[in-house]
Amino acid sequence: MDAVAERENQFDLNADQRAIKEMADAFAADRVAPHALEWDRERRFPDDVIRETGQLGFGGIYIGDDVGGSALGRMEAVLIFEALAAACPAFSSFISIHNMAAWMIDKFGDETQRQRLLPPITAMEQLASYCLTEPGSGSDAAALKTKAVRGAGNGADYTLNGAKQFISGAGSSDVYVVMARTGEDGPKGISTLVVPKDAPGLSFGPLENKMGWHMQPTRQVIFEDCKVPAENLLSGEGAGFRIAMAGLDGGRLNIAACSLGGAQAALTKALAYAADRKAFGQTIDRFQALQFKLADMETDLQASRIFLYAAASRLDRKTPDASKWSAMAKRFVTDACFDIANDALQVHGGYGYLHDYGMEKLVRDLRVHQILEGTNEIMRVIIARHLVGR
Ligand SMILES: Cc1cc2nc3c(=O)[nH]c(=O)nc-3n(C[C@H](O)[C@H](O)[C@H](O)COP(=O)(O)OP(=O)(O)OC[C@H]3O[C@@H](n4cnc5c(N)ncnc54)[C@H](O)[C@@H]3O)c2cc1C
């Protein structure tokens, strides 16, 4: 039994799940992998290829089919993000953020909003971004200051002022799911508004020059007396922090899946390289020190996969401990998989440090997964809160 078949058996993937995974694997190998290094080098956002995934149903993986979504579960989403990330973690993670933002509209929008906003998003005719972080508030998201005041246009519009920091897809996305303050300080004063790219008063900062994720833009999103129709408010005023956190439960699994796919690619490359590269008269995979490193990498990779699939299953079943499992899986998998990619680079020696071998990109891309969707320190805060209370 090969490694893939063994994995499927272990988790009892059904025929549909196997077909979805095969479709994602094929798309990743055909449309993403051959270009990933070039996109990274040229800092090119391949929005044509990203939009193509809409035809595969990846624009609304766990969104209702009445609005064009695929109506799949978290387990299927994890399989898709893992497969895409094996070709390019940054490509996969952009699609994961799009899905997180779309799900927030699906879950917390009313029927009119769902029918009006979601079909172009699930079709990937419109790309969506998630806007929570601000220059002065990251981990402490409930301290956000971007203000939304209702009143303009006889109450038909909100006026937004403030800025969001580090927004993935900013400037390229068509729709921004924005958490803004409509009331008191703290989490209860936050609301969620869907802001279209052409909203008057919306602009974007310059491209951030960052360590990895080069193929997707990261910029500030700036609101200067930005007018947003009140009909784009999700779930009423004050629900925004709950919506933002609910989005992140699934987002954390998705980003962990992106780490898993990247680490699998890194280990596969390391095994092939070690079987080929010679030193001291033999291939380097004959050295026990290196074999032990490979053995640890495989063990940590499989532990990550088992943990992640278990967490996805809990979120699918909506178990009461699903948030804790999402946080634990995000912490464990993104840490372990970064180390696997870094070890795989080491196995390549000096060649691992060269761009053309694809290893240094994997390390750079996976590093940020330990920081975003809540840092791994904040994951520990969440897990501990479940264990010992506040
Ligand atoms: C490339 C990239 C893309 C991003 N994309 C998006 C996006 O699309 N949308 C979005 O909203 N945000 C996005 N982010 C923002 C990301 O979610 C934040 O950077 C992250 O939440 C951390 O916030 P911060 O950078 O302000 O760090 P801070 O909150 O200032 O944290 C600094 C350090 O202090 C630690 N720390 C803080 N509080 C505690 C505590 N209570 N206990 C222990 N340690 C603590 C943190 O773990 C961290 O190590 C992105 C970030 C990057 C780098």
pLDDT per position as a tens digit, 211-251: 999 999 999 999 999 999 999 999 999 999 999 999 998 99
Give the residue ranges of DSSP H helices in the chain. Answer: 3-10, 15-27, 36-42, 47-52, 74-87, 89-108, 111-122, 240-276, 288-316, 322-347, 359-367, 376-388
What local confidence, expressed as pLDDT, does residue 389 receive?
A: 85
Q: Please give the distance, rounded to the nearest whole angstrom, from the Cα atom of residue 16 to the centre of ligand 1.
A: 36
Whole-number percent of the chain with pLDDT over 90: 94
Among residues 82, 231, 373, 377, the one annotated as catalytic is: 373
Burial of residue 193, with CB atoms counted within 10 A of its CB: 0-12 exposed, 13-18 middle, 19 or more buried: buried
pLDDT of the residue at 390: 65
For residue 104, report the distance from its CA to the centre of ligand 1, in Å. 20
Distance CA 345, CA 340 (A): 9
pLDDT higher than threshold 90 for residue 107: yes
For residue 373, indicate whether it is catalytic: yes
Structural tokens at position 163? 């800025």
pLDDT digits (tens, 9 = 90+) for 91-101: 999 999 999 99
The confidence score (pLDDT) of residue 154 equals: 83
Longest dimension (CA), the chain: 81
Residue to probe by mutation, ligand 1, list 129, 139, 178, 379, most atoms within 8 Å of CB = 139
pLDDT of residue 1: 41
| Closest residue by CA, ligand 1 atom 25 | 138
Give distance in angstroms: CA of 355 to centre of ligand 1. Answer: 27
Rg (CA), the chain: 21
Residues in the chain: 390
In the reported structure, the alpha carbon of residue 221 is separated from the centroid of ligand 1 by a whole-number distance in angstroms of: 16
| CATH code of the region 242-388 | 1.20.140.10
The reported pLDDT for the residue numbered 10 is 56
Q: What pLDDT score does 12 carry?
A: 76
The domain segmentation of the chain, as residue ranges, is 3-122, 128-238, 242-388
pLDDT at 5 over 70: no
Closest protein CA for atom 22 of ligand 1? 138
Give the integer Cα–Cα distance in Å for 315 and 253. Answer: 9
Counting from 1 in the atom list of ligand 1, the atom nearest the Cα of 97 is 8
- Ligand 1 interacting residues, C-beta cut-off 6 A: 97, 129-133, 138-139, 166-168, 210, 213, 218, 368, 371-372, 374-375, 377-378, 381
Give the pLDDT confidence score for residue 151 in this predicted structure. 85
Ligand 1 atom 31, closest CA: 139
Residue type, 206: P
DSSP string of 85-106? Answer: HHH-HHHHHHHHHHHHHHHHHH
Q: pTM for this structure?
A: 0.96
CB 311 within 8 Å of CB 253: yes
**Range 183-186 contact pairs with CB under 8 angstroms and sequence separation of 24 or more:** 183/237, 183/238, 185/143, 186/142
| C-beta separation of 250 from 312 below 8 A | no
Residue 51 has pLDDT above 60, yes or no: yes
CA 64 vs. chain centroid, Å, equals: 20
**Is 40 within 8 Å of 90 (Cβ atoms)?**
yes
- Neighbouring CB atoms inside 10 A of 211's CB total 10
CATH 1.10.1040.10 fits 3-122, yes or no: no
Calculate mean pLDDT across residues 292-311: 97
pLDDT digits (tens, 9 = 90+) for 133-167: 999 999 999 999 999 999 867 889 999 999 999 99
User: How much is the pLDDT for 13?
Assistant: 86
Please, what is the average pLDDT of the chain? 95
Q: Give the integer Cα–Cα distance in Å for 298 and 295.
A: 5
Residue 8: pLDDT band (50, 70, 90) is: very low
How confident is the model over 339-362, as a mean pLDDT?
98
Residue of minimum CA distance from atom 35 in ligand 1: 377
More confident residue, 12 or 175: 175
Looking at the domain that runs over 128-238, which CATH code has it been given?
Answer: 2.40.110.10
How many A from CA of 375 to the centre of ligand 1?
A: 6
Q: What is the dihedral of CA 34, 40, 44, 50, to 10 degrees?
A: 50
Ligand 1 atom nearest to 179, measured from its CA: 11
Is residue 128 packed enough to be buried (19+ CB in 10 Å), middle (13-18) or exposed (0-12)? buried
> Between 60 and 4, where is the model more confident?
60
Q: How open is the CA angle 207-210-211, to the nearest 5 degrees?
A: 160
Distance (Å, whole) CA 339 – CA 303: 13
